[in-house]
Amino acid sequence: MEACEEKRQEPAVDPRIEGIASSIRVVPDFPKPGIEARGFIFGPPIALAIGAKFVPLRKPRKLPGEVISEEYVLEYGTDCLEMHVGAVQPGERSLVVDDLIATGGTLCAAINLLERAGAEVVECACVIELPELKGRQRLNDKPLYILVETH
């Protein structure tokens, strides 16, 4: 009897990821005042695809009605996120989606807002991670899914 050697196969890499990575454009001195909400490009289609509701988290004074807010620190100053009161219910499971994780300030603020409302944040997902800024380490062991690391 011959001993058989088990062949290990590497997981298939989605060819679209290379296309995304090669399309990322670096804009010097970005972000600039007034530019925000890039995560909105990704959040609604993901929510639709998984059969979940989409809950917008926005900068101050962008949402109508009663909101709760969370201040946070960024690599270039401080900011605030707001969410509608009653947008999530206690015990609901949440996925936080954003375009980029740098220092982790925005994701941490989003997690705090959702958890203050009683939601369970089960994962975060970003298109781009800037690992040298160590934002992942601020997420209190929340799983983080990313498509592309840039340096």
Percentage of the chain beyond pLDDT 70 is 82
Indicate which residues carry an active-site annotation: 38, 75
pLDDT, tens digit (0-9, with 9 covering 90-100), for 90-147: 999 999 999 999 999 999 999 999 999 999 999 999 999 999 999 999 999 999 999 8
Could you tell me the domains of the chain? 65-151 (3.40.50.2020)
Compute the distance between CA of residue 128 and CA of residue 46 in angstroms, rounded to an integer.
16
Count of CA atoms in the C-beta half-sphere (13 A) of 81: 23
Q: Tokens standing for 147?
A: 């498509």
Catalogue the E-assigned strands of the chain: 67-74, 77-84, 93-101, 120-129, 144-149
Read off the pTM: 0.78
For residue 108, the SS3 value is helix
